[in-house]
Structure 1
Amino acid sequence: MKNKRMFWNIVEKIETLIDSGAYPPGSRLPPERELAETYLVSRPTIREAIIALEVRQRVEVKTSSGVYVLEMKGAKQDSRPCSAFELTQARALVEGEAAALAAVTITEAELAKLKLTLEAMQKGINADQADREFHIIISNATRNNAVVLAVENLWKLRDTRDEIKNAYKNVCSQSDSDRLDEHTRIYNALKNKDSQAARSAMHHHFNRLINALFAVSEAKALEEVKRKSNETRGLYSLNHLVN
């Protein structure tokens, strides 16, 4: 019974990562050995989990190639509008408390994983993926499944809404050093088991991000005003009469 629970636990964890966009359709799951090390289980347990995922039509096993994520049939996107500003505010509220919780419960192994993501960001190696993993590790460290689901669903919105994806792309690509500094502050607060500092560092991170979003939005609005003004000037100008 214990092995069965462990096997289904792995299935649920991998499905959650797939749903969050960490493993998008068409991507390959990590090798069996790596998954076993990540989840601290045996390789036979990972094989059973993969079989279950294949039966659920979440993955396809290709001989001598690997395990690939399938597109969910009939998947529908919620039509309710959500802006990048709304998402960022929600993330600040949820992930700020997640960081405060995690500061009390985070393990040395999880801190080590967080440090690896910081090193990846510093080196510019899949920095966006490292960013996502950083936040997911913290949510898992809370030991609260509701918090984990909330964080993963917010990331899913970030990764699936074109408006939000484009807005984040405009600011994230311009602030790699700020992002690394902010994540380092969060990491240090977690390492020191300081809940208040962890919450504050997370809020500081999202506050900078939302202000950057406003700056980009304002710049685009100003550019549009200038464009329309130039069109109107061209229409009503008397230059051709006075020259």
Structure 2
Amino acid sequence: MKVEAIKVRRLYLEVANQIESLIMDGKVKPGERLPSERELATQFEVSRPSIREAMIALEIAGLVEIRTGSGIYVLPNIKAGHSIAIDDDPGPFEILEARLIIEGEAASLAAARISDEQLKELETAIKIMGDPETSEADKEKADQLFHCTIADATNNSALNATVKWLWELRNRSPISTTFHQKVRDLGVHPYVDEHIRIYKALKMRDPKRALLAMQSHISKAIDDDMEVLKVE
């Protein structure tokens, strides 16, 4: 019996593959502007974050150009028979949504278990992120260190591994790295004051305050990323 392996459903990939087919079949012409993000979300019956992930995947593949604030345009001179292998990892908004759920609870658990040494590590990470002389690459590393230190402070190996895996996904896949470079270029950077708020809650050993501070931080990151990548 011949069967096909069951794969995890990636909504943004399904959208990207359909638009790729429309472009390659000539149903969407070179230079043509695609429908607005809102229209595409309605037509495909998916969320607007899934549409943005799909557009970034198509941009990486060399099929469209995203003009922030203007729209998405099909590139000229796409060769016939062009075929793409779009990144099969979770989309960046999927990763952020997972982090929102998991890292909030991790911060709550860490508040009761974090060591003085780990609190010092968080202080160091905050200083690096807040130093205007620090490179963007080092600030990114400090941001990751901050969040992974909190995961480590849970003393729960499953939670710790899950948080670190989400950060590995964030850093390894072409769609995710392109996404985060775009938002950095558009002015979204690690917010020091939000990290300080999380740190203070952990230092107070207050699980509820730590959970809310972490959730607020990641929710704001999602909102800001959505805003700067708006492509109506």
Q: TM class, shorter-chain normalised?
A: 0.5 to 0.7
Give ranges in structure 1 of 5+ residues lacking alignment: 1-78, 223-243
2:227 aligned with 1:215: yes
Give ranges in structure 2 of 5+ residues lacking alignment: 1-86
* Equivalent position to 1:96, from 96, 104, 110: 104
Alpha-carbon spacing, 1:158–1:110, altered in 2? closer, same or farther (3 Å): same
Alpha-carbon spacing, 1:172–1:185, altered in 2? closer, same or farther (3 Å): farther
Taking the aligned partners of 2:159 and 2:184, their CA distance within structure 1 comes to: 24
Taking the aligned partners of 2:126 and 2:169, their CA distance within structure 1 comes to: 24
Alpha-carbon spacing, 1:103–1:137, altered in 2? closer, same or farther (3 Å): same
2:126 aligned with 1:118: yes
Larger relative contact order (CA 8 Å, sep ≥ 6)? 2
What is the root-mean-square deviation of aligned Cα atoms in Å?
1.8
* Equivalent position to 1:188, from 200, 206, 209: 200
Provide runs of 4+ in structure 1 moved above 2 Å. 169-173
Render the CA deviation track for 1:73-104: whole Å, top value 9, x for unaligned: xxxxxx64421111100011110010000000
Whether the 8 Å CA contact 1:139–1:151 is kept in 2: the answer is yes
Specify the alignment match of 2:173 in structure 1. Answer: 161
Identity of aligned residues (%): 33
The TM-score with structure 1 as length reference comes to 0.55
Give the deviation of 1:127 after TM superposition: 0.6
Specify the alignment match of 2:182 in structure 1. Answer: 170
**When the two structures are aligned, how many residues end up with a matched partner?**
142
Give the deviation of 1:113 after TM superposition: 0.8
Letter in 2 for 1:146: A
Taking the aligned partners of 2:219 and 2:165, their CA distance within structure 1 comes to: 20
Taking the aligned partners of 1:80 and 1:163, their CA distance within structure 2 comes to: 9
The TM-score with structure 2 as length reference comes to 0.58
Specify the alignment match of 2:9 in structure 1. Answer: none
2:200 aligned with 1:205: no
Normalized per residue, the structure richer in helix is 1
Letter in 1 for 2:212: S
Larger Rg: 1
Whether the 8 Å CA contact 1:171–1:209 is kept in 2: the answer is no
Give the deviation of 1:172 after TM superposition: 4.0
